[in-house]
Amino acid sequence: NPALSQFGTQMSQLTGVRAIMKDIIETLKNSAGKEFINLSAGNPVILPEVEQLWRDCTADLLASKEYGEVVCRYGSSQGYAPLIEAVVQDFNQRYGLSISGLGKAKALRDRNILITPGSQSLYFYGANAFGGYTTDGDLRQVVLPLSPDYTGYGGVSLTPEALIAYKPKLEINQKNHRFKYRPDFSQLEITEQTGCVIFSRPCNPTGNVLTDEEVSKIATLAKKQDVPVLIDSAYAPPFPALNFTEMNPQFGDNIIHCMSLSKAGLPGERIGIAIGDPNLIQILESFQTNAAIHSSRYGQAIASRAINSGRLAEISTEIIRPHYQHKLEVLAATLDKEMPNDLPWYLHQGEGAIFAWLWIKDLPISDWEFYQELKEVGVIAVPGSTFFPGLKGAWKHKQECLRISLTATESEIVTAMQKLAQVTKSVISKQ
Ligand code: PLP
């Protein structure tokens, strides 16, 4: 084995949920005929209408003269021009913005858009361009203002010590067994040591949606220090529109609005979209030129068709959103029926994304042990402690939560929640 650099050591480790996934894959492989209900998946369900949309866009591309130009050529690092123009038009019209795509006379200062190979790469570029050590040797932090948040942020920084996360405030509705995380503004610090801020909205794993006011408060704090705020909108409107509560995407000088087409049925084509100030976009674009050149042009060409026709936004609100919202309702109703009323269990308010987040307060075993107990009864969900990247210090809450994917079928969700309730009762009674 070659000796690894500091970055090599950091990047060759499996972080967060990827480490658990290895255990899950092995469990499923060695199950010897045992049936599992797998509620760990982050892969979106293949919905027939969504698949048809992408099939139609592909057929249209294949029939067009553009095909050769698209797949047989390299393109610009900023992205494929028709996709950039489609996003500009859609967003200007939808949100009354005046962003521009390619720039008048190709002036870089007019470019508000960057297309990346998936949005994960965007967080990697951002975390390392704005966070980490400066040329003067000062450490600039990558701040996650509300923990828990997306496990993938755990691996994005080449300097792991740069990543810091803040504990939330908890709003608990004891009677209804519901709770909600709020950013704790009495703790959150955005200072001259902050390189950038990142959070997901709607949030993976919790389904939380920060309010418009909370977002603008964070952006204003960051603006005072000229700090970019990357708002991970992988589940946000207009596509995939996996918000079950009102929310308005926020734009502004230091906000980089980051989107993904993965949850709108195109995870394999790797399409991420950043909208922001041209100076910030330019930095990320150069990073991309060095790292990856550009995203798949085939994916970008079919995406431009899906956006221009209006079908992507329409399928998002009419098919994708109701599909997951219904699953969440089934899950919540089953837990309400099956879980003991006298136990302090709380489901996070389901405001979006494709997961439910369950907190069993005072759980006598760790989340990892609870995950093992669930496996025994044929249910797989993800232990919650993997979703607190950057959060230092002990906090029992980290070992009391579970992420449950809404990608299983309705009947699988019902059965799995019944089993989960039984396991909870048995674990508590052994106490
Ligand atoms: N951000 C969030 C909140 C996610 O849940 C995911 C994927 O699950 C990503 C980013 C990465 O998505 P992609 O790189 O496919 O755009």
Q: What is the mean pLDDT of residues 197-204?
A: 98
What gap in Å lies between CA 367 and CA 23, rounded to an integer?
A: 15
Domains for the chain: give ranges and CATH numbers. Answer: 6-46+314-429 (3.90.1150.10), 49-310 (3.40.640.10)
Task: Give the CA dihedral 398, 400, 180, 147, nearest 10 degrees.
Answer: 10
What does the pLDDT read at residue 430? 85
Residue nearest to atom 8 of ligand 1 (CA): 42
What does the pLDDT read at residue 108? 55
Atom of ligand 1 nearest to the CA of 262: 15
**How far is C-alpha 423 from the geometric centre of its chain's CA atoms?**
29
Q: Which of 153, 260, 271, 288 to mutate to test the pocket of ligand 1 (most atoms within 8 A of CB)?
A: 260
Is pLDDT of 69 > 90?
A: yes
Q: Model confidence at 42, in pLDDT bands (50, 70, 90)? A: confident
> If residue 49 lies in a helix (H) or strand (E), which one and from where to where?
helix 48-63
> If residue 402 lies in a helix (H) or strand (E), which one and from where to where?
strand 401-405
Distance 152 CA to ligand 1 centre (A): 8
Distance 204 CA to ligand 1 centre (A): 8
For the chain, how big is the Rg over CA atoms in Å?
Answer: 22
What does the pLDDT read at residue 18? 74
Give backbone dihedrals phi and psi of 98, rounded to 5 degrees, phi first: -130, 50
What does the pLDDT read at residue 76? 94
> Over the chain, what is the mean pLDDT?
95
Q: Quick one: what percent of the chain has pLDDT higher than 70?
A: 98
Distance 20 CA to ligand 1 centre (A): 17
What does the pLDDT read at residue 81? 95
Q: What is the mean pLDDT of residues 201-224?
A: 98
Q: What amino acid is encoded at 395 in this protein?
A: W
Q: Which of 18, 150, 351 to mutate to test the pocket of ligand 1 (most atoms within 8 A of CB)?
A: 150
Q: What amino acid is encoded at 54 in this protein?
A: W
Atom of ligand 1 nearest to the CA of 121: 14
Can you say whether the dihedral through the CA atoms of 300, 302, 303, 308 is positive or negative? positive
Please answer whether residues 232 and 201 qualify as being in contact, where contact means their C-beta atoms are separated by less than 8 angstroms: yes
Distance 215 CA to ligand 1 centre (A): 19
Query: Residue 257 corresponds to which tokens in the numbers above?
Result: 């609005």
Distance 286 CA to ligand 1 centre (A): 22
Q: What is the mean pLDDT of residues 118-138?
A: 97
Which stretch of 6-10, 86-90, 137-141, 405-409 has the lowest confidence by average pLDDT? 6-10
Residue nearest to atom 6 of ligand 1 (CA): 234
What does the pLDDT read at residue 109? 57
* pLDDT single digits (tens) 139-193: 999 999 999 999 999 999 999 999 999 999 999 999 999 999 999 999 999 999 9
Distance 68 CA to ligand 1 centre (A): 30
Atom of ligand 1 nearest to the CA of 203: 3
Distance 42 CA to ligand 1 centre (A): 9
Distance 343 CA to ligand 1 centre (A): 34
- The total of other beta-carbon atoms located within 10 Å of residue 283's CB is 18
Q: What is the mean pLDDT of residues 52-70?
A: 97
Distance 120 CA to ligand 1 centre (A): 6
Q: Model confidence at 107, in pLDDT bands (50, 70, 90)? A: low
Residue nearest to atom 11 of ligand 1 (CA): 120
Q: Which of 15, 20, 21, 120 to mutate to test the pocket of ligand 1 (most atoms within 8 A of CB)?
A: 120
What gap in Å lies between CA 164 and CA 160, rounded to an integer?
A: 9
Spell out which residues line ligand 1, taking CB within 6 angstroms: 42, 118-120, 150, 152, 200, 204, 232, 234, 260, 262, 267, 272
Cβ-count burial 114-151 (b if 16+ within 10 Å, e if not): bbbbbbbbbbbbbbbbbbbeeeeeeebbbbbbbbbbbb
Atom of ligand 1 nearest to the CA of 42: 8
What does the pLDDT read at residue 212? 97
Q: Quick one: what percent of the chain has pLDDT higher than 90?
A: 89
Distance 260 CA to ligand 1 centre (A): 7
Is pLDDT of 106 > 60?
A: no
What gap in Å lies between CA 390 and CA 358, rounded to an integer?
A: 21
Distance 119 CA to ligand 1 centre (A): 6
Q: Which of 262, 271, 405 to mutate to test the pocket of ligand 1 (most atoms within 8 A of CB)?
A: 262
Residue nearest to atom 9 of ligand 1 (CA): 120
Q: What is the mean pLDDT of residues 260-288?
A: 97
Of residues 244 and 110, more confidently modeled: 244
What does the pLDDT read at residue 252? 86
Provide the whole-model pTM. Answer: 0.97
Is pLDDT of 377 > 60?
A: yes
Q: What is the mean pLDDT of residues 97-111?
A: 72
Atom of ligand 1 nearest to the CA of 261: 16
Q: What amino acid is encoded at 147 in this protein?
A: S
Residue nearest to atom 5 of ligand 1 (CA): 204
Q: Model confidence at 23, in pLDDT bands (50, 70, 90)? A: confident
- The total of other beta-carbon atoms located within 10 Å of residue 290's CB is 9
Distance 222 CA to ligand 1 centre (A): 23
